[in-house]
Structure 1
Amino acid sequence: MAERNRRTVRDLRRGNRARVLQRLYFDGPLSRQELGPATGLSSGSISNVVAELAAENLLEEAGVVDSDGGRPRTLLRVAPGGGLLIGIDIGETRIRVELFDLSLTELARTERLLAQHGYDVDRIVGHVRSGVADVLRDAGADPRRLLGIGIGVPGIIERDAPDGVVGDVGSVVHGQTIDWSAVPFERLLRDAVRVPPEVPFFIDNGAKTLGQAEMWFGGGRGAGASAIALIGSGVGACVNHGDLLDEDRSSQALEWGHSTVQLRGRRCRCGSIGCLEAYAGAEAMRERWQEAGGPLPADADDETALAALLAAAYPADGG
């Protein structure tokens, strides 16, 4: 436990920078005076961090406001031109790749549809490689300005070094439902995706990344704890607990869809019997709809099937 809590000066500096940037993302523009109470940092620390971030073109001034009897206050915001970010969602039916500026304004996006059971590793890596190339080209963006690439994937993520430090392999993915066993996904992407070698890859469970996004920008904002469900072809969940800026805050992805809800029930695609996903997942609902005699084209994917099911359950004429 002592090793875990031992923090270096570099850790403190990085944490302070993150707190300032996060508060400006969520509540900005803010003045230096407002950043102090918002982050819990001293005025001296705020001055040092702001000076560093401004020198790196990560912050910029956003105007001046009058104060009560004192000098006008200069507002600060995240500088959109300070860098580029790429987000990738590897879902059950498609891969979505999006390019953002540093203010999280979307600059370009592309999608790659996945065929049924289309989780061949080489195919996925190829889709990511071409998707990244497409969004950079469409936005006329320089890959040298990339600050990072975030990727949400199905499955459990294992890192080959503590605290997410990248080693020779990087993040390894274990995904029973997609038939991935110890796939060295980060290494494969680094070998394939044409970006500078210093650009970091951040790979995590898709339900966990969704839960984090909801806590930052969605329905979980301001909540001390949340449980967020991800229901699609599969069923997942993310449980968050603790303050958004607290380094000890926990965020955990759960294999909720593979909890047993029916003894001797339907067989799940994971191989077990009676899983929640065997009843509530899109693939399972499509199968149950067909078993009940519901009309459905033979080549319909999960989205088409669910649209037909909902249209039948809630007809437009109210009948």
Structure 2
Amino acid sequence: MAARNGRTVRDLRRENRTAVLQRLYFDGPMSRFSLGPATGLSSGSVTNVVADLLADGLVEEAGSVNSDGGRPRTLLRVSPGSGHMIGVDVGETRVRVELFDLSLAELARTERPLVHRGDNAYDVEVIVGHILDGVTEVLRTAGRIPGELLGVGIGMPGIVEHSAEEGAVVHGQTIGWDAVPLERMLRDSGQLPPHVPYFIDNGAKTLGQAEMWFGAGRGARNAVVVLFGSGVGACVVTDEVEHGRAVEWGHLTVRVQGRRCRCGALGCLEAYAGAEALLERWQEAGGQPPHDTDEETALTAILAAAYPPDGGEPDPVAAAVLAETAEYLGAGLSDLINLFQPERILVGGWAGLQLGARFLETVRTYAHSYALTHPAGRVGIELGRLGPDAVTVGAAILPLADFFARGGRPPSAEVSQDEPPVWRTSLGGRLAQSPARRGPTRAGRTGTAP
């Protein structure tokens, strides 16, 4: 049965379940009495939806609270163990895979180090193998069954497009990927049941989603979340783009005929502010970064050289490179301020958090000096709050958001829009022999199925 606006009763039920689930998830525990005004649903609708969710095991009781002169009201919350998601961060130095319950508590994690080829390209087969092996390992560690997953979310560098034929396709110029059908390759492995979906998106966007839902962006209507690692990326969240839009901020030109970026162009912001380029500039200026180590360890070394923890003599070359990087980063943030005029800019990523702890105030100063006065005076520039692993949390949010949108129904419970109603299937044989199929009825009319 369809409502007047084209929505079916099934649509309305799903929307009501979504409203209650989301309110309990973000603001719970709550009573049935509080859920009414919080969701805009009638008390009868709340009662029916809660009963449905309790029966499905998605919601559980969480104590009680005294009411004004009446019986204590039972509090409800989303049951953490009623769903599980996997988040994957395909980063610059490793592939990190984490298994979460519905509350986003980490149940298992594994990491696979990445060894780049000489041109910094990622080997597609290696990445696919790391993701699949990581998924298998975290499920085995936590004792979970693949078919129970709500989905696998994956944060990738580069531009991610979606097509009906290939699913998610990754265009990653800096990692040597040209239209790689990553979703199809993962799906073709047959590791997960067909009903368990993959959600693949840009890593900066997954970071942005995590910070907006649970971190420093919570409560803001619009923000820009910056991912600062070996490279540089950003996610813009506005009223028009609620879940964020990844932008290739790291490839804005900040210096004409400047340094060669790993994307191949000259003068990109990433060629000056990315951790990989920062360490290269330190070495070119005469610095001595440690050999045979990862970028995170090398970045710690340049900070220690510029600001010796034992109070020794600072390395002026390291200090100068870091100061120049702070100015480039501030100038890059000013472009985001002028373009999008956000309420907040949040700096995340392993390099952003490591450098931001010391240079955030300097970066703020440069950002305000390069930006237009009015939007600069309204923006707050802060560090992200979810730590260097926030990309995996954001990736896990992708199947979680889909779960909410389906009213808490698992992927295996979805009914295809192409399937006929169950009554038509059950009564198919009888319908074939009914008078409607044979001709006029006794009343002289021809019956037709609705």
How high is the TM-score relative to the length of structure 1? 0.89
Q: Does 1:20 align with 2:20?
A: yes
Shift of 1:211: 0.4
The structure-2 alpha-carbon separation of the partners of 1:185 and 1:69, relative to structure 1 and needing over 3 Å to count, comes to same
Shift of 1:171: 1.3
Shift of 1:193: 5.7
Residue segments in structure 2 that go unaligned for 5+ positions in a row:
313-450
Counterpart of 2:59 in structure 1 is: 59
Q: Does 1:133 align with 2:126?
A: no
2:155–2:206 CA contact under 8 A, matched in 1:
yes
Cα distance in 1 between the residues matched to 2:251 and 2:7: 38
Q: What amino acid sits opposite 2:94 in the alignment? A: R
Residue segments in structure 1 that go unaligned for 5+ positions in a row:
162-167
The structure-2 alpha-carbon separation of the partners of 1:252 and 1:20, relative to structure 1 and needing over 3 Å to count, comes to same
Counterpart of 1:220 in structure 2 is: 217
Q: Secondary structure at the match of 2:258?
A: coil
Q: What amino acid sits opposite 1:128 in the alignment? A: I
1:129–1:193 CA contact under 8 A, matched in 2:
no
Q: CA RMSD in A?
A: 2.1
2:153–2:199 CA contact under 8 A, matched in 1:
yes
Q: State, as a whole percentage, how many aligned pairs show the same letter.
A: 70
Q: What amino acid sits opposite 2:179 in the alignment? A: A
Cα distance in 2 between the residues matched to 1:308 and 1:99: 32
- Equivalences for residues 81-100 of structure 1 within 5 A: 81-100=81-100
Cα distance in 2 between the residues matched to 1:234 and 1:302: 11
Moved beyond 6 Å, runs of 4+ = none
The structure-2 alpha-carbon separation of the partners of 1:44 and 1:182, relative to structure 1 and needing over 3 Å to count, comes to farther
Shift of 1:34: 2.0
Q: Does 1:239 align with 2:236?
A: yes
Q: Which of 1 and 2 has higher RCO (CA within 8 Å, sep 6+)?
A: 2
Counterpart of 1:153 in structure 2 is: 156
Which structure's residues are more often strand, by fraction? 1
Q: Does 1:124 align with 2:95?
A: no
Question: What is the CA deviation profile of residues 213-233 of structure 1, one whole-angstrom value per residue up to 9, with x for unaligned ones?
Answer: 001111111112111111000
1:132–1:193 CA contact under 8 A, matched in 2:
no
How high is the TM-score relative to the length of structure 2? 0.64
Structure (1 or 2) with the larger CA radius of gyration: 2
- Equivalences for residues 124-273 of structure 1 within 5 A: 124-161=127-164, 168-192=165-189, 194-242=191-239, 249=242, 251-273=244-266
Q: Does 1:295 align with 2:297?
A: no
Shift of 1:51: 2.7
Which structure's residues are more often helix, by fraction? 2
The structure-2 alpha-carbon separation of the partners of 1:35 and 1:133, relative to structure 1 and needing over 3 Å to count, comes to same
The structure-2 alpha-carbon separation of the partners of 1:222 and 1:263, relative to structure 1 and needing over 3 Å to count, comes to same
Counterpart of 2:428 in structure 1 is: none
Question: What is the CA deviation profile of residues 156-198 of structure 1, one whole-angstrom value per residue up to 9, with x for unaligned ones?
Answer: 121114xxxxxx4211111111111111111111122622221
Cα distance in 2 between the residues matched to 1:110 and 1:251: 27
1:85–1:99 CA contact under 8 A, matched in 2:
yes
2:149–2:196 CA contact under 8 A, matched in 1:
yes
- Equivalences for residues 275-286 of structure 1 within 5 A: 275-286=268-279
Shift of 1:60: 1.0
2:59–2:77 CA contact under 8 A, matched in 1:
yes
Question: What is the CA deviation profile of residues 124-158 of structure 1, one whole-angstrom value per residue up to 9, with x for unaligned ones?
Answer: 01001110110011111122221111111111121
Question: What is the CA deviation profile of residues 226-265 of structure 1, one whole-angstrom value per residue up to 9, with x for unaligned ones?
Answer: 11111000101111123xxxx9725111111001111111
Counterpart of 2:339 in structure 1 is: none
1:125–1:192 CA contact under 8 A, matched in 2:
no
Counterpart of 1:111 in structure 2 is: 111
Of stretches 301-310 and 43-52 in structure 1, the one that deviates more from structure 2 is: 43-52
Count of residue correspondences: 305
Of stretches 99-108 and 22-31 in structure 1, the one that deviates more from structure 2 is: 22-31
Cα distance in 2 between the residues matched to 1:248 and 1:35: 27
1:128–1:193 CA contact under 8 A, matched in 2:
no
Question: What is the CA deviation profile of residues 241-299 of structure 1, one whole-angstrom value per residue up to 9, with x for unaligned ones?
Answer: 23xxxx97251111110011111111111111111100010110010010111112332
Cα distance in 1 between the residues matched to 2:50 and 2:99: 26
1:153–1:205 CA contact under 8 A, matched in 2:
yes
Shift of 1:48: 3.3
Cα distance in 2 between the residues matched to 1:99 and 1:191: 22
Cα distance in 2 between the residues matched to 1:300 and 1:10: 56
Counterpart of 2:69 in structure 1 is: 69
